Amino acid sequence: MSRLDSFIRRMSAQRACLDAVTREIATLPGIVLELGLGNGRTFDHLRERLPDREIFVFDRRIAAHPDCIPDKAHMFLGDIREQLPLAAARLGRRAALIHCDMGSGRAAEDDALATEIAPLLQAMALPGCVVLSDQAFQQPGWHAEGLPDGVSPGRYFIYRVESRGNAD
């Protein structure tokens, strides 16, 4: 498969998953965390799908289209491992949706980052929160959910944070 075809499949899977999970969290109040602003495409899509939600964005640096940059109050700039604890202290456990799009294409590094940040995300996730990611997570109390039709296993991952207190 060409890199262009792979990119199109990834973007189609990402959109299908984003659309599915935004419908799933419709009745769960809370904020949205977007890890990896990139050029702002998914942030813009989330703003359109969830117009009444606060969306907090994390990235190392801003490289997005000017129309797709959140205001300073909703942006955490810097290393994600340093910014997530700051965000948790400021925002608390209020996330209804966490979208992680931070894969580098280097499997060992991506796996290590996912392992490191999972407990930090857990500290911000409401019971019933949906975690959508381009990387697999192995976090106690997070249960894998099915993918939308047409999304190949391993292309994207959807987790539901356990509703019971023992996952906290």
Q: What is the pLDDT of residues 47-87, one digit of tens each?
A: 999 999 999 999 999 999 999 999 999 999 999 999 999 99
The pLDDT score that the predictor gives to residue 107 is 83
Domain range for 42: 3-167
5-11 long-range contacts, CB within 8 A, separation 24+: 9/152, 9/155, 10/134, 10/155
- Give how many domains the chain has, as a whole number: 1
Task: Tell me the average pLDDT across 90-100.
Answer: 97
If pLDDT is split at 50, 70 and 90, which confidence band does 1 have? Answer: confident
Question: 104: domain CATH number?
Answer: 3.40.50.150
Q: What is the pTM of this model?
A: 0.93
How far, in Å, CA of 77 to CA of 80, rounded?
8
3-state SS record for the chain: CCHHHHHHHHHHHHHHHHHHHHHHCCCCCCEEEEECCCCCHHHHHHHHHCCCCCEEEEECCCCCCHHHCCCHHHEEECCHHHHHHHHHHHHCCCEEEEEECCCCCCHHHHHHHHHHHHHHHHCCEEEEEEEEECCCCCCCCEEECCCCCCCCECCEEEEEECCCHHHC
